[in-house]
Amino acid sequence: MKTIIEGYESPWRRVGPAENRFAQLTDSERRSWLLERLNILVRHARSHAEYYRELPAQDLTDLEQIRQLPILENAAYRKHTPPNGTQLVAVPEAYGLALASGGTTGEPRSCYRTSEEQHVIATRLAWGLDAAGIRPGDVVANMMPPGNLWVPFISFLGALEHLEVRVLPIGRAYSAEAALKWMNRYKVNVLLGYPAEIVRVALEAPEGSTFPKIRLIATSGTPVYEGPKKLLEDKFGGPRLVSAGYASNDTGPMGYQCEHCATGVFHLQDDLQILEILEVDADEPCPKGKPGRMIFTQLLLRVVPVIRYAIGDIGKWVDEDVCPCGRRSPRFELCGRTDDMLVGEALQLLPETLDKALHGVAGIGPDWQLRTFSEGVRDCIELRVETLPNVEVEAVDAKQLRDNLLGQNLDMQSDLEGGLLGSVEARVFPYGALPRSPRTGKITLFLDERKK
């Protein structure tokens, strides 16, 4: 229920589809709107950021001309933003948020956003959550990781403020018991967070705990594979799982899911982003349906302008038909990052394949890690899993796990028999023993220790 306090201003309006004026423009109106914003961005970047000094002084006259601008590779972005460099920073003294990326290796990168930028980002995330199915009157647990200069918790908090919902700022709960107590007391029906944290609550709940019936789980950060998905469906009364949005520190929100989007498919946040999908080995546009490098131009951010940024993700355009939801924003499918796939001379393994190897093995959690290492000249593989809380390592059938893995991967089996692979083993660790990313709670999927 909404309250109005007379005499005080209230900037918090619902951000429903009606407020998304961009979505109501015709195609040609959208193109001229985007071209105008792009020209404003290029002018700003050229005159304020050293890195962009060589951009053309003439305005572009057609959106296609974006291809005349240079591509900003991921490595160059890292090199020219603090703490490594400053060439990409256009407004060094900007007020607003100072943030840090949560990289698991190396020095965290700095990121700055003005309050205006952050406000617009929050409203676009709200459009995405609205499309995903969050409705006025819902009670939402915000379980994004808070603190440590990380942005997801506050961005989603800002988004939820526009959706006429009740919000529980749980963050990372100090215990699963506490999280469940709050969820039950306030009748939470939507969970929002990184998959690993929600899974942690499900796994660490004391025996006999009451779980709330959840209608929707909106996750961000990493995909939810089959094992964790089944666990969450079982524990929380069969919720629908949806992505809370495809976003990054550097670019803000890039995609959102409506109820018609299959796993990995997103509508483009197309009043914030121009997306190009280019061939993996050439700077030519990919035909529809073919996976390629995703190149984002972010039209909003002024402190560190992002023009033709190769974010490091692979994606493909879905199709040109209007989505059954009626939204006109184009759709793309995220096909993962190259570092999420283990590509060896002998093998190509995808996370889904490994996920299946865990099926039917009693006493283990849904997470896994694949370690590859060298023994002499041969590659060896070790599939690592953890027990459930309170289960002994010895109680888990590691042989069954290994058999499953080989059964799922006939190539692996023949490589092993033919001597191309040195060994394939499954190893069980106690609950919580595999190292996790402090931010996402995620276990590194592929640990490549092979001698190069």
Which stretches of the chain bind Zn ion, using CB under 5 A? Answer: 258, 260, 323, 325, 327
Q: Tell me whether residue 302 or residue 316 sits nearer to Zn ion (CB atom).
A: 316
Q: Please, what is the minimum distance in Å from the beta carbon of residue 199 to Zn ion?
A: 27
Rounded to whole angstroms, the Cα distance separating 418 from 362 reads: 31
* Identity of the residue numbered 242: V
Q: Please, what is the minimum distance in Å from the beta carbon of residue 324 to Zn ion?
A: 7
Burial profile 190-200: b = 16 or more Cβ within 10 angstroms, e = fewer: bbbbbbbbbbb
Q: Tell me whether residue 267 or residue 293 sits nearer to Zn ion (CB atom).
A: 267
Tell me if 25 sits within 8 A of 33, measured CB to CB.
yes
Count of Cβ atoms closer than 10 Å to residue 7 Cβ = 5
Q: Tell me whether residue 218 or residue 358 sits nearer to Zn ion (CB atom).
A: 218
Q: Tell me whether residue 334 or residue 428 sits nearer to Zn ion (CB atom).
A: 334
Question: End-to-end CA distance of the chain, in Å?
Answer: 61
Q: Please, what is the minimum distance in Å from the beta carbon of residue 247 to Zn ion?
A: 18
Q: Tell me whether residue 260 or residue 378 sits nearer to Zn ion (CB atom).
A: 260
Q: Please, what is the minimum distance in Å from the beta carbon of residue 20 to Zn ion?
A: 13
Q: Tell me whether residue 22 or residue 182 sits nearer to Zn ion (CB atom).
A: 22
Q: Please, what is the minimum distance in Å from the beta carbon of residue 228 to Zn ion?
A: 25
Q: Please, what is the minimum distance in Å from the beta carbon of residue 265 to Zn ion?
A: 9
Q: Tell me whether residue 293 or residue 327 sits nearer to Zn ion (CB atom).
A: 327
Q: Tell me whether residue 325 or residue 391 sits nearer to Zn ion (CB atom).
A: 325
Q: Please, what is the minimum distance in Å from the beta carbon of residue 136 to Zn ion?
A: 20
Q: Please, what is the minimum distance in Å from the beta carbon of residue 258 to Zn ion?
A: 3
Q: Tell me whether residue 268 or residue 306 sits nearer to Zn ion (CB atom).
A: 268
Q: Please, what is the minimum distance in Å from the beta carbon of residue 259 to Zn ion?
A: 7
Q: Tell me whether residue 275 or residue 342 sits nearer to Zn ion (CB atom).
A: 275
Tokens of 10: 């209230």
Q: Please, what is the minimum distance in Å from the beta carbon of residue 14 to Zn ion?
A: 20
